[in-house]
Amino acid sequence: MTETSGPTETDVLATATAWRDAEPDDDIRAELVALIDAAVDGEAGAVEELTARFAGRLQFGTAGLRAAVGAGSMRMNRLVVRQAAAGLGRWLLDSVPDAATRGVVIAHDARRKSDLFAYDTARVLAAMGIKTMLHPGVQPTPVLAWSISGLAAAAGVVVTASHNPPADNGYKVFLETGSQIVSPVDTEISERIGQFDPLRVPVAAEDDHLITWLDDSWSEAYVAAAPLVRLRPEVAGVRVAYTAMHGVGGETIARAFIAAGFDPPTVVEAQQEPDGTFPTVSFPNPEEPGAMDLLLETAAAADAAVALANDPDADRLGAAIPTPDGGWRRLSGDEIGWLMADHILGNTTGDDRLVVTTLVSSSLLAKMAAAHGVHSEETFTGFKWIGKIATERAAVGQRFVFGYEQALGYLVADRPLDKDGITAAVLMAEIAALAASEGVTLQERLDAIAARFGRYTTAELSVRIPPSVGATWVAEIEADPPADIGGRQVESVSSYPEASLVRLVLTDGVRLQVRPSGTEPKVKLYGEAVDLDPAELDRLLQALAASRES
C-alpha cells in the first residue's frame, strides 16, 4: 500500500485563499486574511492553525452542527451553513413528500451571526424551490419545534449552540413531528451536504417570493398552550426565582407563567436580556458549577420556594431548592425528573400511560412507573430518541405523559416532541406550589420518594480524551471486561452499540456506564446506586476512570 501524506502548505494556502475570496462577511474574511498573511510570513503555528481550520468538513450528526464561529471548513460560518442548508434541502426534496410546498420553518437565538445563518438557510432553500418561513426576532427552541406541526412544515431549523461556550454557534434540524432528527437521517443529510461545494452554493435574492416572515402569532399560540401542562390548576402559585442565563427564554417564560395563572418569576436582571457574549457566565449551562450563582442569590433575597434556570435556547431546565440551614441546593437532572414523574403519575390516570427516559438516566423512573401500573421505556442517549419512542408507541395505543434525560431535558406535554424548558418550568412551579399548599418542602417530597423506592444516588464524571480514544476504551471494556472496579466485583456487562455505551453492574446493583460524548472531546462516566454513600459512588467512578491507564 502506498502511504499518503496530508495536505502540503501550498495546498492549505490555496484552499484558504479560495475561502477568503468566497467569504461574504467582512469580519470572518479579515480573520482569514490575517491567518493567511501570518502563514506566508512564517509566523509560528500559523500554518498549523490554517491546516486545522481546513482539516475536513464540519460533520453533521444527530445534533446537527456545532463549533466555534470562525473562518474555515471546520468552523461555523456562512459558507458552512449554506452548504449544510443545501444538503438539507436536497434530502427534503428526495425524502419528504411535498417538501417544497410544505416548506421549512426557521428560527434563531441571540448568538453571534445566528440571524445571518438563519437568513442564509432560507435563501439557500428558496433557491432550491423550497418555501421558507422565518420566525421574527430571537425565539426559544421550543417555540420553533412547537410551530413545525402547526404549520404542517416538512422540517424545522433552529440556529443555536444551546448551552455551549460563548464562542460557539450551531444548527439543529427537526423533523415534521417537531422531534430532532435520528439515525439514519443524519447520515443521509450529511452525505448530501458533501455533494455541494461550500464556495458555490446558490442563494436566492433577499426578497425572494419563497421567503416569508411569520408574525408573533405562533409564539402567542405556544404561550396560550402552556397552561395545559398544569395538573392541579386550582393550586395558587408560590414565589419563583428565574434566570434566562442571557438566553432567549426570559420574555416567553414570563408570559407562560401569567397564562398558567402564576405571577411572573423574580428574575436575575443581569441575565434576563439575550446577549450572545454571556458576560456573567463563562459556560452558560445550568449544569456547570457556578453558572447558577446569581440565581441562588436572587432566590435567597426573594425568599423563593424554588429557583429555575433555562439554558440559552430554553430547551433545558435547571432547578435549586432551599435547605433547612438557609442555603440552597442545586438539584441533579434525575432529581428534577423524579419530582416531575411523582407529580405526573400521581395526578393522571390510565394504564395506557407511557414514560420514557434514557440509558444514562436513573432507573428509578421505571420503578415508579411499575408502581403506578404504566408503561416505561429506556432508550438511547439524546432527547431525539425519546421523541421517536413517543411517536412509535402512540401507534400501539400507549399515551406519552412524561420523558426526561438527566442532562436537564424534560418533556411534559405531547407537543413538541423535544425537550422544553419553558413548559417544564411551569410544571415545576406547580410542583413547588402544591408542596407548599400541603405544608411540605421539595426536599421532603424527594425524601418521600426515597422512603418508598430506596434512596437512589447518581453521579457523573468526565474524562477529557478524544472521542476516538473513548470509543476504543468502550470497545476494550466490551471485549475484555474488568473483574472488579474499586474492589467491587463486576457481575455483568451490557453493550449498547447504537449508543456507543457499555454498562457494568457491580456488587449490590451498583451501575457504572461509559460513553464517548457526541459533541465534546471527552468521555462521560455515569454511576447509579441505591442506599449507597454518594462518596463511595464517586470513588467507584474514579476507579473506573483510573482503570483506563492501567
The C-alpha cell that represents 134 in the structure block: 422565518
Beta-sheet pairing, 155-159 with 168-174: antiparallel
Whose cell is 425524601? That residue is: 447
Reply yes or no on whether 162 is catalytic: yes
Please list, in sequence order, all residues whose beta carbon lies within 8 angstroms of the beta carbon of residue 472, skipping any fewer than 6 positions away.
Answer: none
Q: How many angstroms separate the CA atoms of 316 and 411, rounded?
A: 10
The DSSP H or E segment spanning 84 is: helix 78-95
Q: What are phi and psi of 172, to 5 degrees?
A: -110, 140
CB atoms within 10 A of CB 137: 14
Catalytic residue, candidates 73, 162, 332, 376 = 162
Q: How many angstroms separate the CA atoms of 535 and 311, rounded?
A: 29
CA dihedral 385, 286, 320, 307 (to 10 degrees): -100
The partner residues of 377 in beta bridges, in order of sequence, read 356
Please list, in sequence order, all residues whose beta carbon lies within 8 angstroms of the beta carbon of residue 539, skipping any fewer than 6 positions away.
Answer: 486
Q: How many angstroms separate the CA atoms of 111 and 108, rounded?
A: 8
Q: How many angstroms separate the CA atoms of 211 and 317, rounded?
A: 33
Q: How many residues does the chain have?
A: 550
The partner residues of 168 in beta bridges, in order of sequence, read 68
**Burial category of 339 from C-beta neighbours within 10 Å (exposed 0-12, middle 13-18, buried 19 and up):** buried
The C-alpha cell that represents 316 in the structure block: 433545558
Q: How many angstroms separate the CA atoms of 504 and 359, rounded?
A: 12
Nearest in space to 77 (alpha carbons), one of 153, 16, 143: 16
Q: What are phi and psi of 319, to 5 degrees?
A: -150, 150
Q: How many angstroms separate the CA atoms of 312 and 272, rounded?
A: 10
User: What are the DSSP E strand ranges found in 17-90?
Assistant: 65-68
The C-alpha cell that represents 417 in the structure block: 416532541
The distance from CA 249 to its chain's CA centroid, rounded to whole angstroms, is 14
Q: Which residues are marked as active site? A: 162
